[in-house]
Amino acid sequence: MTDRNGDDIYGEKHKEANEPIFSGIPTFLKLPEVDRDALDEEGVDIGILGAPLDTATTIRPGTRYGPRAVRAASTVPSPPYEHFNIETGIDPFDTFSVADTGDAAVSPGDTRQSQLNIEDAVYEISEQATPIVIGGDHSISYPDIKGWAEANGYEDIGLIHFDCHADTGDEGLTGFEYDHGAWVKRVFDDGLMAGENYTLIGPRGFWPGPDTYEEMREAGMKWYTSMEVGGMDLDDIVTDAVQRATDGTDAVWVSFDVDVMEPAYAPGTGEPEPGGLIPREAIYMVREVVKALDPEDFGFDVVEVSPAYDTSDSSSYNGGVTSGLANRLIIEVMGSMALAEKGLESGDPIKPKEPLGPTGEAETPADD
């Protein structure tokens, strides 16, 4: 890879806000929209795809509007392209050309056909670029992974899964084998993933039941409950998850369900459960996980954003708290991919001249 920067890739649009945030077509970050069959021709490295499916949801619907809300949230603030992270010191758009490829075709009332359409769309992107998919309910992760793996010829993949629920039910929650509570089991049953290459981060609550967790344990799967995340060194969890996901595998998929979050911070989802991750924990772990992976053999999705239940989102014109988090996670993923591409542990953040914290002895008040 030759050195380049965002100006080389995007021209003046890299740093300049060329239109108000409420104008224009709200693609993700107002990035160019490129047809999925033209990504290679246009030199696109990362393709954004919407998967607006929620008919595999078992409780509260509404995630069909997730891609639209996340795109709306991504347009705030301008400028559209430059995203230098003040903490990590990296701008993904200095490394990658990113395009919005629109949404996969969804057939209302035909859940399985919609999933197959998503699989085809991810396949098409993955032949040419790294896919990042915005859901939609979590059932989309099975077709996401299937399309990505088949396009690249992956036979053994690792999976790092952030979620309140294991999604390993034999037939989901209500007897449908392709619902949003069964997709991990579908990936496992297809032989795409060994249990030893799977790690779940953040489960809590009351589903699935003990029999399912017994089966997960027998399969070699591993999980860190939300309370365990809160009481452990996050780096230890990240290191373990990455080691497991990369042990003898061809590639790694990271899937992030926003219901892993404490619903006070991410209420816009179909199955909120108290006691979840806080944003600093989630952002840090996603950063560190992706930074440790090969960006050439990687895929990501963020799912279960349901804007109807989201704080401050009454229209999805500017997104809400939860869609804003999902947008932020995607940018963090791309930033960590850029660090991995460059072989860097960190970028070049701007720091104060003086070290952080106290810099000398405190003065004592003079005697009266």
Binding residues for Mn(2+): 138, 163, 165, 167, 257, 259
Residue position matching structure tokens 């993904």: 92
Helices (H), 54-199: 66-74, 111-126, 141-152, 183-189
Strands 157-162 and 251-257 turn out to be: parallel
Instruction: Please state whether the peptide bond connecting residue 220 to the residue before it is cis, i.e. omega within 30 degrees of 0.
Output: no
Residue 115's alpha-carbon distances to 45, 142, 296, in angstroms, are 24, 8, 25
Q: Where are the alpha helices (DSSP H) in the chain?
A: 6-10, 66-74, 111-126, 141-152, 183-189, 210-218, 226-231, 234-246, 279-291, 321-342
Q: What single letter denotes the amino acid at residue 82?
A: E
Provide the 3-class DSSP secondary structure of residue 10.
helix
Q: Per the annotation, where are the binding residues?
A: 138, 163, 165, 167, 257, 259
The answer to whether 249 touches 152, Cβ cutoff 8 Å, is no
Is the distance from CB of 304 to CB of 54 less than 8 angstroms? no
Cα separations in angstroms, 55 against 52, 88, 111, 113, 165: 10, 38, 6, 11, 18
User: Is the CB of residue 27 less than 8 Å from the CB of residue 71?
Assistant: yes
Residues 196 and 161: their CA atoms lie apart, in Å, by 13
- The alpha carbons of the chain give a radius of gyration, in whole angstroms, of 21
